[in-house]
Homo-oligomer: A and B are copies of this chain.
Amino acid sequence: MKLLEERIKKDGKILDDGKIIKVDSFLNHQLDIPFLEKLGDEMYAHFLGKKVNKILTIEASGIALATVVSQSFNGIPVVFAKKQRTKNIGSNVYTSEVKSYTTGKEYTITVSKEYLNEGDRLLIIDDFLAEGQALRGLIDISNKASAHICGLSVAVEKGFQGGGDALREDGYDLLSLAIIDSVKDNKIEFRR
């Protein structure tokens, strides 16, 4: 998606020799909501025919994007997996183990069984895809609920880390709105 690639070039910050590409001025710390709406519309256009009835994402950065994608899909429910088990989520839950690329830590993601059902047709959304661990955790939880996965979509895929291609090889319909294939001399190259 040209618009997103241009925004990443304009506002993205390359840290740690390309290992980290910061887009927190518009995507995952400060949020440019009208811009996210445009990303949401693009995701909607791709998955339009798939009879998606629910959006599954993960706290925290996926939530704003999932919200606007829901709006494109006429307000279907969003469920977000929690990274921390709180007192009040109860024990009737699906869980999966995820290793975070950003923090380096393992954590458990949790979704209440009440909100994922066998008949659900899910679109799984996140802001970023690197090694694909968070998406794998959400897929695992969807499978445990016997829900159907219509597809996966992220704003930014770091293609050079391989997580996205591995998911495509596994047969998932994965839409990444911008795929960064390399970062050389502080210059970002997108996949064509």
Contacts and interface: CB of A to CB of B under 8 A. Distances in A.
A75 B34 contact: yes
A29 B67 contact: no
Interface in A62-78: 63-64, 66-68, 70-71, 75-78
Given A24-B112, A29-B112, A67-B33, A60 B80 contact: yes
Interface in A28-84: 29-34, 36, 59-60, 63-64, 66-68, 70-71, 75-80, 82-84
A89 interface: yes
B60 A25 contact: no
A102 interface: yes
Q: How many copies does the complex hold?
A: 2
Contacts of A64: 63-64, 66-67, 78
Nearest to A23: B88
A18 to B, nearest CB: 12
Contacts of A24: 88-89, 112, 115
A115 B67 contact: no
A103 interface: yes
A107 B93 CA distance: 25
Interface of A: 15-16, 20, 22, 24-25, 29-34, 36, 59-60, 63-64, 66-68, 70-71, 75-80, 82-84, 86-89, 102-104, 111-112, 114-115
29 contacts: A16-B87, A20-B88, A22-B88, A24-B88, A24-B115, A25-B114, A29-B80, A29-B115, A30-B112, A30-B115, A31-B63, A31-B78, A31-B80, A32-B77, A33-B71, A33-B75, A33-B77, A33-B78, A34-B75, A60-B60, A60-B63, A60-B82, A63-B63, A64-B78, A67-B68, A84-B103, A86-B103, A87-B103, A87-B104
